Amino acid sequence: MNLLWLQSGGCGGCTMSLLCTDAQDFVGLLADAGVDLLWHPSLSEQSGQEVIDLLTAIESGVRPLDILCVEGSLLTGPHGSGRFHLLGGTGRAMIEWVRALAARARHVVAVGTCAAYGGVTAGGFNPTDAVGLQFDERQRGGLLGADFRAAGGLPVINVAGCPTHPGWVLDTLLALGLGSLAEGDLDEFGRPRFYADQLVHHGCSRNEFYEFKASAEKASDLGCLMEHMGCKGTQAHADCNLRPWNGQGSCTRGGYACISCTEPGFEEPGHPFAETPKVGGIPIGLPTDMPKAWFVALAALSKSATPKRVRANATEDHTVVTPASRKTGLK
């Protein structure tokens, strides 16, 4: 299978993330699954006319294209012309190239939240009219339209994240190479369910503090980041804490709240990322599928049962009270 990677309106962070994959030779890993990287703007030697010739051959149907990966949002402005972003040396808007190549591709993959839903590039008043490949935030449509299907029958596969996890990208490409990714394997926003059916909350190293509602009060504290620090890990669809980045890291493990970067529209939460908006002292963003009354009742009960060790450690930057050593009664 031939893979072409294009970069549009973004920072290139998803490529930087991919380079931090645990696989020592991810190009070789793809090759083992039958996926040949035709060209990547940051990783390939070809440039200039060589690349234009390759893209032209794909557009004309002379060169087959199995997987088109697009990183970065699609800049449709001004007035739908796409002239804010021309592909160097061609005089054509990037959105024209993407439309043409997507029509030839067997599968189309949006790498990162910008390519999936517009992302940070579409934030604020969106001066470049940036959109995702098949979504404009939560609305279906985007550049390719709500009804788009690649030649292989699938809609755009949205490997969302800002940046996206290298494992999510590789697993998606490997699944396509092995022919094991079907439409039922994608959620309502086109994300592969192998990671999107999880929550960032799952596996979080701060879960004991969450259970007892022992909350951090400042950035360096060990406690749960949900109540005061803006964490949306109980709402964000991703397995960041089940498969840590680089084998050991995640936002919450590093002391920063989850900002729900895999979700459409995360870039404009309506409040500072590191603050939790509340009504009557109750956080607005409650855990997914949990009624507010239940949360309030359980939170009150949990706080009343909080061990002194957990309460003391929650507002410290290191463990000040260690677990007691007692006979457990287990044989």
Question: DSSP letters of 258-322?
Answer: ---TTSTTTT--SS-TTS--EETTEESSPPTT--HHHHHHHHHHHHHT--HHHHHHHTSSS--SP
Sign of the dihedral through C-alpha 137, 143, 146, 152: negative
| For residue 285, pLDDT beyond 80 | no
Do 174 and 286 lie in one domain? The reply is no
What is the C-alpha to C-alpha distance for residues 308 and 314, in angstroms, rounded to an integer?
A: 10
Residues 76 and 136 in one domain: yes
How is the chain split among helix, strand and coil, in percent rounded to 5?
30, 15, 60
Q: Answer yes or no: do 66 and 86 share one domain.
A: yes
Q: For residues 123-145, give the mean pLDDT.
A: 97
- Statement to judge: residues 185 and 287 lie in one domain: no
pLDDT at 144: 98
**How large a percentage of the chain has pLDDT more than 90?**
79
Q: Which of 141, 161, 195 is the last residue of a domain?
A: 195
CATH of residue 110: 3.40.50.700
Dihedral class, residue 186 (left if φ above 0, else alpha if ψ from -120 to 50, else beta): beta
Supply the pLDDT for residue 330. 64
Last residue of some domain: 195, 230, 262?
195
Q: Quick check: 24 pLDDT over 90?
A: no
Evaluate whether residue 143 is within a structural domain: yes
Instruction: Identify whether residues 49 and 174 lie together within a single domain.
Output: yes
Q: Which amino acid is at 268?
A: E
Q: How confident is the model at residue 324 (pLDDT cuts 50, 70, 90)?
A: confident
- Angle at which helices 94-104 and 49-60 cross, to 10°: 50
Q: Does residue 122 share a domain with residue 186? A: yes
- DSSP state for residue 243 in the 8-state scheme: S
pLDDT at 328 over 90: no
User: Domain range for residue 133?
Assistant: 2-195
Q: What is the CATH number of the domain that holds 248?
A: 4.10.480.10
Q: Tell how strand 135-136 and strand 107-111 pair up.
A: unpaired
- Asked if residue 122 and residue 81 are part of one domain, the reply reads yes
Which of the four pLDDT bands, split at 50, 70 and 90, describes residue 26? confident
Is 14 inside a domain boundary? yes
Digit-coded pLDDT (tens) for 221-277: 999 999 999 999 999 999 999 999 888 889 999 999 999 999 999 999 999 999 998
Report the range out of 16-25, 95-104, 224-233, 273-282 with the highest average pLDDT.
95-104
Type of residue at 312: A
In a domain, 102, yes or no: yes
The answer to whether residues 304 and 296 touch, using CB atoms and an 8 Å cutoff, is no
Per the prediction, the chain carries an average pLDDT of 93
Asked if the structure places residue 249 within a domain, the reply is yes
Whether omega before 78 lies within 30 degrees of 0, making that bond cis, reads yes
Task: Please state, in angstroms and as integers, the Cα–Cα distance from residue 324 to each residue in 305, 306, 321, following that order.
Answer: 17, 15, 9
* 287: confidence class by pLDDT, cuts 50, 70, 90: confident
Whether residue 331 lies inside any domain: the answer is no
**Mean local confidence (pLDDT), 118-143:** 97
Same domain flag for 273 and 171: no
- C-alpha closest to that of 323 among 306, 307, 304: 307
| For residue 100, pLDDT beyond 90 | yes
Q: How many helical (H) and strand (E) elements, i.e. helices and strands, does the chain have?
A: 11, 11
176 and 204 housed in the same domain: no
- Residue pLDDT, tens place only, 117-129: 999 999 999 999 9
Final residue of a domain: which of 180, 195, 210? 195
Answer yes or no: do 77 and 106 share one domain: yes
Residue 208 lies in a domain: yes
The mean per-residue pLDDT over the stretch 101-124 comes to 97
Residues 7 and 110 occupy one common structural domain:
yes
Asked whether residue 214 is assigned to any structural domain, the reply reads yes
Q: Does residue 331 carry a pLDDT above 70?
A: no
Domain count, the chain: 2
Q: Domain for residue 325, yes or no?
A: no
Phi, psi of 57, deg, nearest 5: -65, -35
Distance CA 15, CA 37 (A): 14
Per-residue model confidence as pLDDT tens digits over 290-314? 777 777 787 788 888 898 999 999 9
73 and 41 assigned to the same domain? yes
The whole-angstrom separation of Cα 137 and Cα 78 is 19
pTM of the model: 0.92
Three-class SS state of 37 = strand
**Integer distance in angstroms from the first to the last C-alpha of the chain?**
56
Q: What is the pLDDT of residues 185-222, one digit of tens each?
A: 999 999 999 999 999 999 999 999 999 989 999 989 99
What length is written for the chain? 331
